[in-house]
Amino acid sequence: MVEDIELLKEELKENLSEKRYLHSIGVMNMCEKLANKYGGDVKRAKLIGLVHDMAKEMSDKEMLEYVEKNNIEVSEVEKFVPQILHGKIAACMSKKRYDFDDEMCEAIAYHTTGKENMTLLQKILFVADKIDETRKYEGVEDLRKIAFKSLDKAIIKNIDETLKINLNSNNVIFDESINTRNYIIMHKKTK
Ligand SMILES: [Fe+2]
Ligand SMILES: [Fe+2]
């Protein structure tokens, strides 16, 4: 597995806009903080934090071509909003280029919506992505505080807020967001 953070940083810096690069560094740093707080694997958390958005600047057309070529399963909703595929594509790239393990690749694949039964590492990336230092939206301070008390509470709060936005804007809702929320509520985990 490629573990050289400096090398990955250089690669990202060349390929991403400055804004996205700074967000990637922010998420990496937040992954480190959350992994320390909750006893997660700091090294692997930083690696996935750094590369999670490596595919985000591809066009819709490029994304749809990539998933087709690489036999990535795509739902009708994902086809409708191809941008959501940036997670699955980055997961596939990370496997091929860096040989990241399955838990890391799944974390990257589902960093936007979450999924049922997420591991600690996967929850750390989901939350870090929403609260890194470059995020400025209303309520982010609140979510940062919650994140250091309970990852599950932070996940539910973020999904609730995102659902509200999508309902109000008449956008599609991703099944995985609902499944993530239901799973946490039904299992009442505390982390
Ligand atoms: Fe993302
Ligand atoms: Fe992100």
* Residue closest to 148 by CA, chosen among 25, 41, 32, 38: 38
Reported confidence tier of residue 189, pLDDT bands at 50, 70, 90: low
Alpha carbon of 113 to those of 34, 36, 108, 122: distances in Å? 19, 23, 10, 11
pLDDT of residue 188: 82
Cβ 8 vs Cβ 97: under 8 Å: no
Which helix H or strand E contains 117, and what residues bound it?
none
pTM of the model: 0.97
52 Cα to the center of ligand 2, angstroms: 6
Residue 6 is given by DSSP the state: H
Distance in Å, CA 169 to ligand 2 centroid: 21
What per-residue confidence (pLDDT) applies to 24? 98
Measured in angstroms, how far is the CA atom of residue 100 from the centroid of ligand 2? 18
**Nearest ligand atom owner, CA of 55:** 1
Nearest ligand to the C-alpha of residue 88? Answer: 1
Residue 137 φ then ψ, to 5°: -65, 160
Model pLDDT for residues 117-151, shown as the tens digit of each residue = 999 999 999 999 999 999 999 999 999 999 999 99
Average pLDDT over residues 62-80: 97
Ligand having the closest approach to the CA of 58:
1
Residue type, 168: N
CA distance 128 to 153: 13
Check pLDDT > 70 for residue 74. Answer: yes
What one-character DSSP code corresponds to residue 137? S
Q: How far is the CA of 23 from the centre of ligand 2 (A)?
A: 7
CA torsion through residues 83, 58, 97, 38, sign: negative
The hierarchical CATH code for the domain 5-187 is 1.10.3210.10
Contact 87, 66 (CB under 8 A): no
Distance 141 CA to ligand 1 centre (A): 19
Question: 73 CA to middle of ligand 1, Å?
Answer: 18
C-alpha 86 to ligand 1 mean position (Å): 7
Q: Side chain identity at 70, as an amino acid letter?
A: N
Helix residue spans in 81-174 (DSSP H): 86-98, 102-109, 120-131, 140-147, 151-168
Question: How large is the average pLDDT for residues 30-55?
Answer: 98
Give CA torsion, residues 138, 132, 95, 151, to 10 deg. -80
